[in-house]
Structures are given as structure tokens and as C-alpha cells.
Amino acid sequence: MTIAQIETNLQELIKNFSSQTFAFDLLIAYGFPKATLARLEKGDLNLLESKGELTLRKQLFFKVAPSEAIHTLIDEISNEPKAQKNAPRFIIITDYETLLAIDTKNKETLDIKLLDLTKHYDFFLPWAGMERAQHKDESPADVKAALKMAKLYDEITKENEPKTKEDVHALNIFLTRLLFCYFAEDTNIFSDNQFTKAIQSHTQADGSDLDSYLQRLFDVLNIEKRDDSLPEYLRAFPYVNGGLFRDRVALPKFTMKSRNIMIEVGTLNWSEINPDIFGSMIQAVITPEHRGGMGMHYTSVPNIMKVIEPLFLDELYEEFEQCKENKTKLANLHKRLTNLKIFDPACGSGNFLIIAYKELRKLEMKIFKQIDLLSGQRSFVFSEIKLSQFYGIELDDFAHEVAILSLWLAEHQMNLEFFREFGRTSPTLPLHQGGNIVQGNATRLDWEEVCPKEDGDEIYILGNPPYLGARYQEENHRQDLDFVLKKIKGYKRLDYIAIWFFKGAEYIKNVDAKVAFVSTNSICQGEQVVTFWHHIFKKDIEIDFAYQSFKWQNNAKDNAGVTVAIIGLRNILNRPKYLYVDNLKQQVKNINAYLVGGETIFIEKKSKPIPNPNEKPESRKSEINGRIAIR
């Protein structure tokens, strides 16, 4: 069931309201089978006529009560054993004028006029399988915008079902352009509400000419020198450039309803949107298989920082602290920042790249402020960290487009922050080159062609690639493993993520580069250690740092229970190595793969410890001849 269908169902429910069937009509609106509810209506749990109550196991406890009692009653019922007995997801109390509800899982509440139910359709979306877990980095604006965009997507595809790969790509391009226009009109890129007002003022109410208007507008946004014959309302839009509006693609046809939804989406405050996670949320609602996890398919900022900080950010801040009193050294550090390359070969909608970009911009501002402090005057400088320093590979077409867009939005947000700090900033428009995000299969592409290695570069590869243990791999995954790892004996038993570690190790060999990935901890346990890791270490690569096994705190529905590790690799250096256990940082002499996986190995017959996995498997076998207990 789509969001648009749910809204339509609720509108019909209110229009044809009946107190006798309201509870059942509400459940039907969210997709519950009528046959199930017919049995409920005849069953023992339906006490609507006698006691004004209805219970549907694990879904609903519903009660009708007098107006003066409903607010007191909902608090009492939420703590009563009879309401908790059947573990209802929602408790609803109503007098058929006011509706009160509690989401027992998320501890959220609703207090509305029953006639306003349609405006709050998202509260009960878990009934339709659209679970939304609130993360501390997730703002209400992100959630609301994602839901509105999902509603628009559903309505557009109802009339314009994509049938070919080209249709899908055209729709993806259109949606990313819409996202930019909505964001632009609320963040001073366009004038206030310029895009939405233009749709309202210059297109027919039935939506019949909206596609031709948008096509003309998108063409104008890509033209620097405008023809004098253009109407003023089009000439008023600025030149955007950056390739965002460069290519002409077929636009969908619109109806009165889809036009109204576009205007409705424009009423949101898009300046509050957070590109760190918004791209992933949009991807979730646009991608049907992710719709059930709306607002949950993104990597949280704290988890991203667990990769970024030990990989490069901690070292940069240490250097900053050491040279704070020396302008020349500060300038050299700043030059270092401008020579960094950040590369995510499984970038999704760009979360890791966006956070890395923002953190480098924040450090740059600290450097500028410190130089100004030492100089005793404000220097006239602008940011020199460019989106062209950021590289990515993404298989999914829509995620690829959103990653490019999200980096532009992040750049604009950081420009605004720079302006607040220094009173000046580089203009956002025209857009410059975005991140170097390539659409394709990272297991097949040459990473060096995507992110070239040049003299003076300092390169960091990072991300959260797909895991997929051997049992869960499909034929295309097995073909990828064969393409990259076929020379490794026993490679078919490896986790899919082994490809990224192998290609990452090959890329960084003998250059100023490091790599760190989030991984399932199984790559560092059992036979996978023996099969895989000595092929990494024989390239003169070592584990630089690692987060030992921990529960993934991401809100992604499918990954909530996954135990992961974070593993950083570097060329062999005579420098400290760090192991993070329960978020505590420990300096260690060496980090082997078993240590990362959190396995403790006891040998019953031998007192000699198991050799380091850096050694060849043959040298290990002679030592493992007793009973091994692995915890």
C-alpha cells in the first residue's frame, strides 16, 4: 500500500464517517485485509457495542470514551495489564471528535481533532509496514520531506510507470532536480519560494502543462546568457550550471493531484533538511524494497565518525594542536587539506563523503580563525576545499544522482556557515564540479581510473560496502568474487566485502593512502582469517586501527542486529596502532585479524600461542592440533 493510497483511504473514511465502523475503517485504510477484520468483528475481542472497546493482537487497543475522560483514560489504559496483554502497537482513545493515540514502541503520542486525521497519516504508517525509528541525527524536517516526496513519487508513477532502464533514469534525474529546486528556494540560492510560486502562477490547475513548463525552466537554469524574449518570471531564475540541468530528459506527465502535491511539498521548510542523511531517506522511500524501512536506511553520523576520525581526522587535529602558534605551519596544514582525496567505492547516497567534506571544512575554518588570531587582523580568505576532492562509486542509479546532489547541498550549507563565521563566502552559484561520483559496479571498475593517484596526493578510502556472507550471495555476487578473488584458494567461502578489502589493499600499496571499511566481523573469524588475510599482509599491508566487534547502532531495519568491525589498513609503518574495544582506544603493538573479530582462542594440547595470521596458512596448521574453543 502506497502513501497516496493511504491518504485517499483516510479522506474517504472522514467523508463517509460512521462511528459504528470507524475502528475497522481505520485499519482497512492502512491495508488490513477485510476478511481479517470481519472475523475480528464477530470475535470475542470485539466489545465495541458492550464496552466500547476493540483489541487486535499486537496492533491495536481501541476505546470510545466521553469527552471529559479521554485524556485521563489514555494514561490509565497505557499502564493497565489488559491493554498490555495483547501488546498493541497503538492505543487509541476517542470521543469521535478528538483522537488520542500512543505508539507503544516509539513512545510517541498524538492528540488531534478526528477530522484532521488525514494530516497525521504518518503516525500509523507502521501498520502499512513503513517503520520509522527516530535517530538522534534525524530531524522532523527530514522525515516529513521524505514522506512528502514518497507521496509525490507514488502519484507520478501511477500515471507514468517506468518501463525501461531509460525511463527509470529519466525519473531519477527529474527527482534530484526537484530536490535541488525545493532546497534552493528556501536557502537563498533562488529567491524565497520562487520555484513553488512559479508553478502556482504559471501552470494550469489540472497539471496538463506542468511538464512543458518544467522542461522550459530546466533548460533556462542551464543557460548563462538568456534570450531577451524569455518571460521575466523565467529570466529571474539564476544560472545554475554544474551539470545538474545540462542533459535533457523526458519529464513525466502530471495530473491535478500530482501538481497539488508538488505545491504542497514546496510549503515545507527545506532549509532544515540535513543532506547527511536525507539522501538515504529519499532513496528508501523511492526504492520499493526499502519502503518498509523509511527513515532507517542510513549510516548514523556517530558511526561514520568511527571510521573518519582514526583514518585521518584525529591526525589532522593533532597536527593542528601542535602548530597552533605558528602561522606558517598552519598554512602548510591548510595546504595539506586541499591536497586530500576522499574516496568511497560503495558510496550509496554519499553519507561518508558528506560528513568527511563537512569535517574538513570545519577544520579549515578553525585554521583560518587561528591565523587571524595570530595576525591580529582578519584575513580575506575563502574556502579552498573543493567537491572535486571527493570520489565515489555507486551501483544504484538514483543513489548515484542523489550523492552528487547531496554534496552540492552540503557545500551550500557549509558556505552559509562560513559566512556566519567570517562575513563572506564563495558564491554557491554557478555550481562548480560536484563530487566525482561514478555509477557502476565497484568490483569491476578500476579504482585508479575513478580516483587517479598523482604526485602529492594523500588519499583515504572509506565506506560501508555490502557484506553478504557466502550463504546469502546471489549469482551476480559470486561472479564478482570470481572476477576479483579467483586466485585465492577457498575464496567462494569469503564474505562479499572481502573484495573491497582486497582492492583497497592493492590500491594503497606503496602510495600515501589508507583504507578503512565497516565490515561484518565474520571476515575476521574462523576459516576466513586463514583463507583471506595473509593475501593482504603479503602485500606489505598491515592493520592500522580497528574497532573490535560491536553491535551496529544504525537504524537500518535489516542491519539492526548485525555485529560489525571497522578495519583500517595502511602500508607497513613504524607508527602506533590502535584498537578500539567498547569505544575505548588502546595502543597496541600489533593487530591481527582474530583480535579484530573478538575471538579468544584457547589451545588444549599446546602451550605455544597460535602464530600471527600474517604468517602463511601452512605454518599455522601445525600449531592447531588440539581442541579449539572460540568465544
Q: Are 386 and 410 in contact (CB under 8 A)?
A: no
Burial class (CB in 10 A: 0-12, 13-18, 19+), 381: middle
Instruction: Name the pairing type of β-strands 46-47 and 390-394.
Output: unpaired
- Residue where the block lists cell 582514526: 310
Instruction: Name the pairing type of β-strands 541-551 and 563-571.
Output: antiparallel
- Residue where the block lists cell 558510496: 347
Q: Could you give the CA distance from residue 548 to residue 527 in angstroms, rounded to a whole number?
A: 18
Q: Could you give the CA distance from residue 124 to residue 101 in angstroms, rounded to a whole number?
A: 9
The 10s digit of each residue's pLDDT in 555-577 is 443 444 578 899 999 999 999 99
pTM: 0.74
Q: Could you give the CA distance from residue 529 to residue 495 in angstroms, rounded to a whole number?
A: 11
Burial class (CB in 10 A: 0-12, 13-18, 19+), 548: buried
Q: Could you give the CA distance from residue 228 to residue 214 in angstroms, rounded to a whole number?
A: 19
Q: Among residues 86, 94, 103, which one has the least CA distance to residue 43?
A: 86
Cell of 23: 475502528
Return phi, psi of residue 229, to 5°: -75, -10
Q: Could you give the CA distance from residue 364 to residue 361 in angstroms, rounded to a whole number?
A: 5
Q: Could you give the CA distance from residue 564 to residue 576 in angstroms, rounded to a whole number?
A: 23
Per-residue DSSP letters for 286-336? HSGGGGGGTT--S--HHHHHHHHIIIIIHHHHHHHHHTTT-HHHHHHHHHH
pLDDT the model gives residue 320 = 97
Cell of 137: 541525527
pLDDT the model gives residue 132 = 56
Region label for 395, one of left (φ > 0), alpha (ψ between -120 and 50) or beta (otherwise): alpha
Cβ atoms within 10 A of the Cβ of 42, count?
A: 8
What per-residue string of b and e applies to 570-605 under the rule 16 or more CB within 10 Å gives b?
Answer: bbeeeeebbbbeeeeeeeeeebbbbbbbbbeeebee
Terminal Cα distance for the chain, rounded: 45
Sequence-distant (≥ 6) Cβ neighbours of residue 107 within 8 angstroms? none
Q: Among residues 349, 215, 220, 333, which one has the least CA distance to residue 280?
A: 349
pLDDT the model gives residue 146 = 80
Cβ atoms within 10 A of the Cβ of 248, count?
A: 12
Put the strands of the sheet holding 108-113 in their side by side order: 46-47, 53-56, 60-64, 90-94, 98-103, 108-113
Q: Which amino acid is at 369?
A: K
Q: Could you give the CA distance from residue 424 to residue 97 in angstroms, rounded to a whole number?
A: 53
The 10s digit of each residue's pLDDT in 99-119 is 999 998 877 888 899 999 998
Strand, helix or coil at 404? helix
Instruction: Name the pairing type of β-strands 390-394 and 436-439.
Output: parallel
Q: Among residues 397, 418, 330, 494, which one has the least CA distance to residue 167?
A: 397
Q: Among residues 121, 465, 136, which one has the least CA distance to residue 295?
A: 136
Q: Could you give the CA distance from residue 185 to residue 265 in angstroms, rounded to a whole number?
A: 12
The residue ranges of the chain whose pLDDT is under 50 are: 133-138, 291-297, 554-560, 600-631
Cell of 228: 531577451
Q: Could you give the CA distance from residue 381 to residue 422 in angstroms, rounded to a whole number?
A: 9
Q: Among residues 310, 313, 317, 322, which one has the least CA distance to residue 588?
A: 310
Q: Could you give the CA distance from residue 469 to residue 215 in angstroms, rounded to a whole number?
A: 45
Strand, helix or coil at 153? helix
Q: Could you give the CA distance from residue 401 to residue 438 in angstroms, rounded to a whole number?
A: 9
Q: Among residues 540, 538, 515, 384, which one has the least CA distance to residue 451?
A: 515
State the sign of the Cα–Cα–Cα–Cα dihedral 594, 597, 598, 604: negative
Q: Among residues 561, 569, 537, which one has the least CA distance to residue 459?
A: 569
Q: Could you give the CA distance from residue 126 to residue 123 in angstroms, rounded to a whole number?
A: 8
pLDDT the model gives residue 10 = 95
